[in-house]
Amino acid sequence: MTKLLLLLAFTSAFMVLSASAGNVVCYFASWTIYRPDNGKYTALDVDPNLCTHILYAFVGLGEDGSVRVLDDWELTGLDEMNHLMSLKEQNPNLKIILSMGGWNEGSQKYSAVAASPGLRQAMVQSVLAFVDQYGFDGFDLDWEYPCQRGGVDEDKATPLNEKGLILSAAVSGGIASCELSYDIPGVSENLDMINVMVYDFHGAFESFVGHYAPLYASSLDATDEQKTLNVAAGIEYWLDQGADPKKINIGLGTYGRGFALADPNNSSLYAATYGGSEAGPYTRAMGVIGYNEVCELYSSWEYTWDDEQQVPHIQNGNQWLGYDDEKSIQLKVEYANSKGLGGAMVWSLDTDDFRNVVCYFASWTIYRPDNGKFTALDVDPNLCTHILYAFVGLREDGTVSVLDDWELTGLDEMNHLMSLKEQNPNLKIILSMGGWNEGSYKYSQVARNANTRAAMVQAVLDFIDLYGFDGFDLDWEYPCQRGGEDIDKVR
C-alpha cells in the first residue's frame, strides 16, 4: 500500500482562491489560545494577507437578545478581538466579522428571540452596538440550526436583516438539514455571503467509516440519503433552491475526522467502527484531528486516494483518518469555480500548519504509478519553509542506514532535493530518521548505551555534512512502546 506524502500546505489552496478573485473567508476560533504547546493559536498568529474575511468565532446570545461574550477572560485581559482588529494595520482591505452562535450555543434561544419582535429588535441593537464598539466590518450568524435542536418551524420565516454591514451566515450543507431549516430564496436575498458547511457528513457519531467531506458520492452509498452526503450534492441543492452562486462560499476544513476500526483489515467505506480515533495532542478530542497534528505525527501512515469521492484517508492499524490534502482541496476549489461560486470559507485557521509550513518529502513516492509518482524535482521550492527528507534508518551499531538501495545507485533524490535551494536559498532541508516501519526496539537499544549514542551522533553529523542537510529530525515511533523500554522517555 502507498503511504502518505504530506506536502500539506493549505497556503496553496488560499493562493488558488485569491488568484480567482474570490472570497477567502476564514474562521478564527477564539478558544484555541488555551491549547498546549505548538497547538496554541492567538489572533497575533494570523497572517493578515491570507484571507479576505476573518470571522471571530464566537460570541453568544443572551435570552434578552443581547450579545454575550463567551469567555470572561476576553474582557479581562486576553483582548483577542482588538488583537484581531490590529491585523488591519498590515492589510487595510481585510474585513473582520463578528460571528455569533456555533454548535455549543444550541438553537432554542435563537428561535425564541427570532419569534419575538421586541427581542429581535433588542438583538439588532445589541449587535450594532457591539460591532461599533470593536470596529467589526459585519455580522455572521452561525445558528445551528433553525427548526432543529429546540427551534420551531417559523424560524426560517424570520431572517435577520442588517443594513450597512456585511451580513453572512454559516448554513448546513446536508440536504435533510436544509429542508428543515432554511427558506433558501429568503436567505439568499437577505445575506451578503452564505457560508455552506459542506463537511462533517460523517464522523465518530456514527458506527461506520465515512469521509467527513467527500467531494462526490461513492458507488458504495446504498441509500438515497447517503448519496447526498457530499460536497457537490450540498452545494447543488443550495443552487437548485435559488441561492445566488456569487453569495455562496464553499466550506473547506483544515481538520479531519477519524475512527477506530473494528477490524483493521477492513477499512472500506461503511466498515464497522467502535468509536473515534485517538485524540491529538492539541485538539485533544477523540475522532477529530487538526492538520497541524497530521503534519507533525502522521507522516508515515498508509495513504489511500478514493477515486470516486476524490478525497484521501490515512490508516495505521485500527486508526483511520479522513481529511483533505493539497490535491483534494485543489479539486474542491476547481469545483467551486466551475459553479461560479463567490469563494471559500475555511474552518478554521488554528488547525492549519500555522507554525510555518514544515513538509515531509516521502522518498518512496517516486515508485507510485502514473500520476501518483512524486519526485524531489516535483516539489515547489517556495511552498514550504522547511522540507524533511523521510526517511533514513538506524542500524544497531548507531550508524545511519539508507533505506532504499536505489538512492545510492542512481535515484539521487537527496541531491535533487538539495538542488531546490538554488531556487529558494532560504529553504531549509532536514534529514529525518525513523518512521513507523523502523519500529522502536533498536532506537531504544542505541539510546541505552553511551557508545552507540556517540556513534549515532557522529554518523548523523557525517551524513548531514556529506549531503548538505540543514538539520536533523528524529521520528522515533515511539519511545517506551513497540519494543522500547520504560526508561526511554528520560534518555
Residues designated catalytic: 144
Task: Extract the runs of DSSP E, i.e. beta strands, from 310-450.
Answer: 311-316, 319-322, 343-347, 358-362, 386-394, 400-401, 428-434
Q: How many CB atoms lie within 10 A of CB 318?
A: 17
Least Cα distance to 345 among 417, 238, 458, 471 occurs for 238
263 close to 272: Cβ distance less than 8 angstroms? yes
Q: How many CB atoms lie within 10 A of CB 279?
A: 15
220 close to 209: Cβ distance less than 8 angstroms? no
Q: How many CB atoms lie within 10 A of CB 207?
A: 12
Cell of 321: 483518518
- Cα-flanking dihedrals φ and ψ of residue 289, to 5°? -140, 135
235 close to 173: Cβ distance less than 8 angstroms? yes
Q: Which residue has the cell 456555533?
A: 102
* Cα angle for residues 170, 312, 337 (degrees, 5° grid): 50
How far apart (Å, rounded) are the C-alpha atoms in residues 60 and 147?
A: 18
